[in-house]
Amino acid sequence: MKIRNVLIILLVAVVIGGIIGYKQYNKPHRDLMSEKVSAQMTAQELFSAYEEDESQANEQYLDEMVEITGTIERVNIEQEKSTLQLQTEDMMAGIICEFEAGALKNIPAEGEKITVRGICTGKLMDVVLVRCIIMNS
């Protein structure tokens, strides 16, 4: 009798785990064009916020939609993803904007001023925005 109860509980746990896993796997992506922006600022302002107090900046911007305006320092086009680096006053670091494959159809030129919207994932050496889209070109 005890083994039967344990097996029933185990079966129920596996079914519930399967349902949760299925729902997470099929969860829709965030719509970046229609999602409300948490903050609009320059690349330097975002970078400075992380330089001054990283934990406070994470509370405000981590996993949030931000819109950044800045000057392109470097463009890197690859098969799987493309990146733009926006200039800051720091010569060794900046804002990295990651785009999905094929998202940079009209490749912006270095030195061009643009506005990018993306999800902030925090700072390693650079502040990183993922799933970016260009708002102007």
- Kindly report, residue by residue over 63-99, the tens digit of the pLDDT: 999 999 999 999 888 777 889 999 999 888 899 999 8
Q: What are the boundaries of each domain within the chain?
A: 39-134
Q: What pLDDT was estimated at residue 61?
A: 95
Residues in contact with 79: Cβ distance below 8 Å, sequence separation at least 6, in sequence order = 101
Query: DSSP class of residue 124?
Result: S
Which amino acid does the sequence have at 122?
G
Strand partners, 70: 114
**Reduced to 3 states, what is the DSSP secondary structure of residue 64?**
coil
- Kindly report, residue by residue over 39-58, the tens digit of the pLDDT: 999 999 999 999 999 999 99
Question: ∠ at Cα 131 (82, 20), nearest 5°?
Answer: 130
Strand partners, 68: 41, 116
Two structure tokens written together for 19: 């349902």
* Pairing label, strands 113-123, 65-77: antiparallel
pTM exceeding the 0.85 threshold for the entire prediction: no
Residues in contact with 130: Cβ distance below 8 Å, sequence separation at least 6, in sequence order = 98, 118, 119, 121
Residue 137: pLDDT over 60 = no
CATH class of 39-134: mainly beta
Q: What pLDDT was estimated at residue 119?
A: 93
